[in-house]
Amino acid sequence: MSRDKIFLICSECLSRNYTVTKRDDDSRRLEINKYCPHCGRHTLHKESK
């Protein structure tokens, strides 16, 4: 089973802040609250397309 590299994008300023890996067979979109260095606070980060 392989893993894909994905980017997490801040939902407020739309900057690409983090890269993570995810299983190939997982069809759900990843959403995590993480710290955004551009906004200066914790925001929702979503998986990019």
What is the 8-class DSSP label of residue 1? Answer: -
Answer yes or no: is pLDDT of 1 > 80.
Answer: no
Over residues 23-39, mean pLDDT: 91
Answer yes or no: is pLDDT of 17 > 80.
Answer: yes
Over residues 17-37, mean pLDDT: 92
The DSSP annotation for 8-47 comes to EEETTT--EEEEEEEETT--SPPEEEEEETTTTEEEEEEE
- pTM to 2 decimals? 0.83
Query: CA torsion sign, 19 to 26 to 34 to 45?
Result: positive
Please report the pLDDT score of residue 49 as a whole number: 75
Could you give all domains of the chain from N- to C-terminal order, each with its CATH number? Answer: 3-22+30-47 (2.20.28.120)
Q: Is 43 left (phi over 0), alpha (psi -120 to 50) or beta?
A: beta
